[in-house]
Structures are given as C-alpha cells and as structure tokens.
C-alpha cells in the first residue's frame, strides 16, 4: 500500500470504529462499565422502610427498619427480622421458579384455607408479584394480612391503614457485598436460560465472609437472579444459570474493576462491607488471554471467516476479488476486520418475516377446539371443551375457557415478571404449603416441564389440572380425567383478537431485548385502543411483552428494556404500512384482526425510513466505506 493511501485507510478504519462504538456498549452489554466498581458500604445505602403484620390476633403496624436501597422485599424482611427480633419472625419455602413463598409469620402458618397476603400500603392493593420481585426504596411500606384464601380481598381493610411507627429494637448488623455475573463470552441460545447479574446487592453477616460463602448466600437470598452450582470439596463454582465450566472456558472471579483473577478456591478470598465480586466466563488459561473477557486474536480471526458466507458479505467478496495476487494475508485480515463490525451495525437484529407484517386474520378464522380438565378435592370436571385461537398460550386458553364455562371454571394467578403466571387458585381451591395445582398434558399423561405461558395450544390440545402434594406428586397423571369425556361450553367466545409486533430493527445491541413477531392478544369484544393493547399484553403475554406506559399522555416509553432516547423512540404503525400512528396511543382504535407494529425509529419519523431499516446516514456511511476501501485496494 502506498503512503498516499495509508491516511485514507486509517481514516476509514477510525470512521468504522466510531460507528461500532456508538452502537455497541462494549465491555459487557449487560452491565454498564460505571457499575464495575467497589462500594458503596452499607451505611451509605440505607433507607427507612416499614412492615406491618395484621392477622390471627397479631397487630404490629409500622415496624420501621433500615435496609439498603434497591434490596428486594425478601431481603428487607431479613433486615426487619434482625432489627425487631421476635417482634417479626417469618419462615418461607423456596421454589426454584417462583422464589420465596412466605409460609408463616410470628409462628402463624398457612392452614385451614388462610394465607399471608401482602399489600402495598401506598395503594392498599395486593401486590401482583412476590417478595423477590419487589425492590425497596425510601419509605416503602408493606402490610402482611392473614386472610381467607378462598375469598381474598384485593384491597386492604384493617387497623394498619393509619399512621403508626414501631421503632427497631436493635441495630442492623448486616453488611453488603455486590455480585456481578457477566454475560461476556456466554453464547445465548434457546436451550439455555442464562441471565446476567449486574452489581446486585447481597446481605452478609457483619463479620468477614468469603467469596464462596457469598455465592451460597446469594443462592438462597436472591434465587431468581443467581443460580450457582458449587463444589464444596474444592470451594469452587462450576456453573452459573446453566452455563457450566468446560475444557475451554470456566467461571473466574475478579474484584470488580480489576483484571487480576482471584484464586479458583473461592474460600481463600475474603469479602467485607462494600466489596464487589465479578464473575466472567473466561478462557481456562486466564493469564494468557485478555483480562476483560474480550476475544483473543485467534478467536477474532475464527469469528471473521464464517462471516464470508453471511448475507451482506457480497461486497467483501467482490472487494477481495479485486486484490492483487501478491496482496498479503495480513491486509486481507485487516480489511475483513474493518468491514465486519460495520456490516454488523447495519444489519442490526433480524427483522420479523415480511409475510407476518399484515393485518388479520380475524378471530373466527383462527379458532381451534381445546380441552381442559380439573381434578381436585370434591370435583372432577373432565374434558371442558372451549374455542381458542390456534397458537395461543395455555394461559390465554384458560382465559377463553373461563369466559365460555363461567362458574364451572374460575381461576386466579400471581404474575411473576420473569417466570409468568403461577396458578394459585382454581374453583375456589387454593395452594397450600404442601399442595399445589399441577398441570399435565393429557396426550402424554405427563407433568408439563414448563408453565402456562410457555405452552402453546393447537387443535385438540388437552390439559389436566390436578391438586396434588408438592413433595410426593406423580410425574404421570392418574385419576378420573384420563379417559374421554366432553363438557360443552355454556357460552360462546366473546373475545376478539389483535396482533402485536415489536421490531428489532434499529435497536442497539442489548442482550435483554427480545423482538416480538405478530403475537396474538385476546382483547374485549368491543373496540379497544393501541394503548390498552399494550396494557393487556403486559399482563396476558408477560414473557414476550414488557411495556412501560405513561398514563398521563398514553404513550409508551420503553419496550422490552429499550427506552426512548433523544434520537430514537418507539413509534406505532399499522403493520405493513409506513404511516405512523399518533404518539397518544389512546387515539388509535384496535378491532378484531388488527395488527399494530412498534418500531424503534429516529425521532423525526417523517424523514427516516418507515420500515425500520438503517437510517440513510448509516447507509451512506457504509457505502462510503466500501468505496474508500475498494479505491485503496485496487490502487495498490
């Protein structure tokens, strides 16, 4: 390459890096770099919160306690127990998927159909999620009320409504340590359930602990975030969230913000108040590779070569064909290194199939017949037939069955942000400490491996709900609903259907983002709005749609973890068109068969492409890069 062309090549390379660094957060897409620091100690994090207990002759209103801000309510209960002693004691059962279920408070357990229900004192409404999903802020206040599970109140009525304060009788002796589990180098697939953890606080005993003990505590204290498999003989971690050590990679601990790994024997490293431990999935020979989880040079070359066969690499292949035969392999690698990140930026997330970007069909064209059975104490309702759209979730099917069978099939559920709906009551019979409603696939008579939001209905799908013991239940269904039986619906289906798409085009790399392609939502029979559609989707298909909505201007501010910014915001369209809907989503009616698509568009939608394609500026920049490189190569 001539000296004349070197500045041009460098300029293009810098330009490309600018595009890449602007669209990629670097270090770890899961965790902001600013969080990779030590501290603060617990004294600098404390806020005041309150707990009240009302039931079974116990009235303890406004028990004040100190707790780190953003602790979970379960951690707050641990802190309250430390500070109030026998004034507040509790026991819980830990469920792998659903977290902690509070089974007794102050020696009063769940029995005889009575349970401890939790209310937000600010709204006096029952909380929709459990103690592991609620984060505490200053003046957070919750009420535990012991009441009948058959007829639970949605609104708290009792003596703890008013102002009352019981100051703590002992100081908080816990200290705080922070834990990060980085997603760098973890290959995300549909088969694993890996979830990164970003500087999550863990309460530890006041005396010094070890990193190994920290993980043991995290497993039981924040089980929905941390799932660490530990080898107690060697005091090492062998797996996080299903991602296990192997011949090439293993989980390595660091003091956050440093590149020096701590010993694999985690009992050798002490942790004290304010410490922050980071785990990265690193090459086994950590000392020879980069310390921040970046790919080695060898890995980089291996990653580049397969990209030659990917869509969009035609320009690269053409460019290489223009190179002189004596062109060095090093320069080929450099050209590929320059082009590949730029192509990645332009490509973005995979778009939804174009065939899906249409309205319809209406609900009548989608319906299939499904069946649901209930086998519980004193009841055997076998083969309740109902109509539901094909590919609806089982939870949506339960909504449809409830609407068509009326009082024969009624249910309540608790919604967990990460794991979906947990069915806790069917036809007035509630889960207890030891018995729960289990769901079986009638075709196989086997217990289903996943919950109602993961199962999808097809024609003649059939499921059985059985009330059974949680520790000794059968994996195979045995009971009266094994054989053929049909209970016909007493009412017609009145739900209508709307479709929702959340496009991934233009979304910056974010491992938490999940696109949604024409997913069905059951809506009321009368017309609804685009705003109500998102509100319904939040509660009906919570594993697919997480929309933050503003009730003042009826707008969406975030979808699936991606928030509006100065340059881009979520804009609604009628699917398959380029005409943006009003930002006030309540102004747009949605009826049977309608399909609303949300795209992350440049703020001035009128000047940008309407189909979520890369902006004109990015496309021009990329084409300029191709021209520059082609000129450099062919002129050598």
Across residues 116-120, what is the average pLDDT?
93
CA angle 425, 426, 432 (to 5 degrees): 40
Q: What is the pLDDT of residue 362?
A: 94
Evaluate if residue 398 carries a pLDDT over 90.
yes
As a whole number of angstroms, the distance between CA 398 and CA 400 comes to: 5
CATH at 395: 2.170.130.30
Q: Say whether both 320 and 427 belong to one domain.
A: no
* Residue-wise pLDDT tens digits, 555-607: 999 999 899 998 999 999 999 888 899 999 999 999 999 999 999 998 864 43
CB-based contacts of 634, cutoff 8 Å, min separation 6:
322
Evaluate if residue 83 carries a pLDDT over 90.
yes
499 by DSSP, 3-state: which?
strand
Evaluate if residue 297 carries a pLDDT over 70.
no
Q: In this structure, are strands 228-231 and 236-240 parallel, antiparallel, or unpaired?
A: antiparallel
Q: Which of 138, 161, 184 marks a domain boundary? A: 161
Give CB contacts under 8 A, 24+ apart, made by 474-480. 474/447, 475/446, 475/447, 476/440, 476/445, 476/446, 476/447, 477/440, 477/442, 477/445, 477/446, 477/447, 478/445, 479/375, 479/380, 480/375, 480/380, 480/382
* Residue-wise pLDDT tens digits, 311-338: 444 444 444 444 444 444 544 455 455 4
Evaluate if residue 234 carries a pLDDT over 80.
yes
Q: Say whether both 21 and 46 belong to one domain.
A: no
Is the whole model's pTM more than 0.85, yes or no? no
Establish if 476 belongs to a structural domain.
no
Handedness of CA 283, 285, 291, 296 (dihedral sign): negative
Q: In what order do the strands lie in the sheet with 228-231?
A: 228-231, 236-240, 243-244
Please state, for a pLDDT cut of 70, what percent of the chain lies above it: 76
Across residues 154-172, what is the average pLDDT?
90
Burial of 219 (0-12, 13-18, 19+ CB in 10 A): middle
Q: Say whether both 560 and 636 belong to one domain.
A: no
Phi, psi of 460 (to 5 degrees): 70, 15
Q: What is the pLDDT of residue 569?
A: 95
Handedness of CA 489, 491, 492, 493 (dihedral sign): negative
Q: What is the pLDDT of residue 432?
A: 87
Question: Which residue blocks in 409-564 are alpha helix, DSSP H?
Answer: 530-540
CB-based contacts of 257, cutoff 8 Å, min separation 6:
36, 37, 38, 276, 278
CB-based contacts of 351, cutoff 8 Å, min separation 6:
503, 504, 505, 612
Across residues 419-446, what is the average pLDDT?
91
Establish if 475 belongs to a structural domain.
no
**How many domains would you assign to the chain?**
5
Q: What is the pLDDT of residue 159?
A: 93
Q: Which of 454, 469, 484 marks a domain boundary? A: 469
Q: Say whether both 123 and 200 belong to one domain.
A: no
Establish if 593 belongs to a structural domain.
yes
Q: Say whether both 605 and 623 belong to one domain.
A: no
Lowest mean pLDDT across 94-98, 239-243, 251-255, 295-299? 295-299
Across residues 349-359, what is the average pLDDT?
82
Higher pLDDT, 312 or 255: 255
User: pLDDT class for 47, splitting at 50, 70, 90?
Assistant: very high
Establish if 482 belongs to a structural domain.
no
Q: Which of 435, 469, 503 marks a domain boundary? A: 469
CB-based contacts of 29, cutoff 8 Å, min separation 6:
183, 509, 510, 511
Establish if 34 belongs to a structural domain.
no
Q: Say whether both 240 and 196 belong to one domain.
A: yes
Q: Residue 413 belongs to what H/E stretch?
A: strand 411-416
Establish if 636 belongs to a structural domain.
yes
Averaged pLDDT score across all residues of the chain? 81
Q: Say whether both 58 and 155 belong to one domain.
A: yes
User: pLDDT class for 617, splitting at 50, 70, 90?
Assistant: very low
Contact 305, 617 (CB under 8 A): no
Q: Say whether both 235 and 258 belong to one domain.
A: yes
324 by DSSP, 3-state: which?
coil
Phi, psi of 346 (to 5 degrees): -65, -40
Evaluate if residue 554 carries a pLDDT over 60.
yes
Lowest mean pLDDT across 165-169, 442-446, 473-477? 473-477
As a whole number of angstroms, the distance between CA 288 and CA 183 comes to: 20
Total residues belonging to the chain: 636
Question: Which residue blocks in 24-95 are alpha helix, DSSP H?
Answer: 73-84
Q: In this structure, are strands 446-447 and 435-441 parallel, antiparallel, or unpaired?
A: antiparallel
Q: What is the pLDDT of residue 472?
A: 59
Q: Say whether both 101 and 154 belong to one domain.
A: yes
Nearest to 266 by CA among 277, 256, 275: 277
Q: Say whether both 548 and 564 belong to one domain.
A: yes
Hey, what are 41's tokens?
């100690």
Across residues 467-479, what is the average pLDDT?
79
As a whole number of angstroms, the distance between CA 352 and CA 367 comes to: 24
Q: What is the pLDDT of residue 558?
A: 94
Q: What is the CA radius of gyration of the chain?
A: 28
Establish if 14 belongs to a structural domain.
yes
Lowest mean pLDDT across 60-69, 117-126, 504-513? 504-513
Evaluate if residue 353 carries a pLDDT over 90.
no
Lowest mean pLDDT across 195-209, 295-309, 618-632? 295-309
Q: What is the pLDDT of residue 351?
A: 74
> Domain span at residue 581?
495-613
């Amino acid at each position: 390459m001539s000296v004349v062309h070197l500045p041009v090549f460098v300029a293009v390379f810098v330009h490309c890096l600018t595009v890449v660094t602007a669209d990629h957060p670097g270090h770890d897409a899961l965790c902001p770099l600013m969080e990779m620091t030590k501290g603060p100690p617990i004294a600098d994090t404390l806020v005041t919160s309150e707990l009240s207990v009302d039931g079974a002759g116990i009235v303890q209103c406004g028990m004040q306690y100190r707790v780190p801000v953003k602790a979970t309510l379960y951690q707050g209960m641990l802190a309250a127990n430390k500070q109030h002693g026998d004034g507040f004691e509790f026991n819980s059962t830990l469920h792998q998927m659903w977290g902690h279920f509070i089974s007794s408070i102050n020696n009063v357990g769940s029995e005889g159909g009575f349970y401890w229900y939790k209310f937000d004192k600010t709204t006096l409404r029952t909380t929709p999620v459990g103690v592991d999903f609620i984060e505490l802020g200053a003046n957070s206040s919750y009420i535990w009320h012991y009441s009948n599970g058959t007829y639970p109140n949605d609104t708290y009525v009792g003596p703890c409504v008013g102002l009352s304060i019981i100051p703590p009788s002992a100081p908080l002796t816990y200290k705080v340590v922070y834990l990060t589990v980085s997603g760098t180098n973890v290959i995300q697939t549909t088969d694993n359930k890996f979830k990164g953890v970003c500087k999550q606080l863990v309460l530890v005993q006041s005396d010094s602990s070890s990193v190994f003990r920290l993980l043991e505590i995290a497993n039981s204290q924040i089980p929905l975030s941390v799932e660490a498999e530990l080898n107690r003989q060697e005091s090492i971690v062998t797996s996080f969230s299903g991602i296990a050590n192997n011949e090439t990679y293993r989980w390595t601990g660091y003091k956050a913000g440093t590149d020096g790994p701590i010993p694999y024997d985690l009992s050798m490293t002490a942790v004290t108040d304010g410490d922050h431990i980071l785990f990265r999935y690193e090459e086994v020979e950590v000392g020879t590779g980069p310390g921040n989880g970046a790919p080695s040079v060898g890995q980089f070359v291996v990653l580049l070569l397969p990209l030659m066969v990917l869509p969009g690499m035609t320009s690269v292949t053409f460019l290489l064909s223009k190179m002189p035969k004596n062109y060095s392999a090093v320069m080929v690698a450099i050209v590929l290194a320059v082009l590949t990140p730029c192509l990645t930026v332009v490509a973005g997330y995979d778009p939804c199939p174009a065939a899906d970007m249409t309205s319809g069909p209406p609900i009548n064209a989608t319906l299939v017949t499904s069946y649901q059975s209930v086998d519980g104490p004193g009841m055997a309702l076998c083969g309740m037939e109902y109509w539901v759209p094909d590919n609806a979730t089982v939870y949506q099917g339960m909504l449809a069955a409830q609407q068509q069978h009326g009082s024969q099939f009624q249910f309540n559920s608790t919604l967990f942000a990460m794991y979906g709906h947990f069915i806790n009551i069917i036809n007035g019979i509630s889960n207890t400490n030891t018995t729960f409603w289990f769901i079986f696939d009638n075709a196989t008579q086997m217990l289903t491996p996943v919950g109602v939001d993961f199962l999808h209905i097809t024609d003649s799908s059939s499921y059985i709900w059985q009330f059974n013991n949680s520790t000794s239940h059968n994996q195979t269904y045995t009971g009266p609903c094994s054989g053929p039986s049909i209970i016909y619906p007493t009412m017609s289906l009145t739900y209508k259907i709307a479709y929702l798409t959340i496009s991934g085009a233009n979304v910056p790399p974010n491992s938490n983002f999940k696109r949604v392609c024409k997913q069905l939502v059951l809506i009321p029979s009368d017309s609804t709005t685009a705003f109500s559609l998102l509100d319904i989707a939040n509660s009906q298909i919570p594993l697919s749609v997480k929309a933050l909505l503003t009730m003042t201007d009826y707008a969406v501010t975030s979808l699936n973890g991606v928030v509006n910014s100065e340059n881009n915001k979520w804009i609604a369209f009628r699917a398959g068109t380029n005409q943006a809907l009003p930002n006030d989503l309540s102004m747009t009616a949605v009826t049977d068969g309608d399909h609303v698509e949300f795209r992350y568009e440049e703020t001035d939608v009128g000047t940008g492409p309407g189909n979520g394609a890369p902006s004109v500026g990015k496309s021009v920049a990329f084409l300029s890069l191709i021209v520059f490189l082609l000129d450099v190569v062919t002129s050598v």
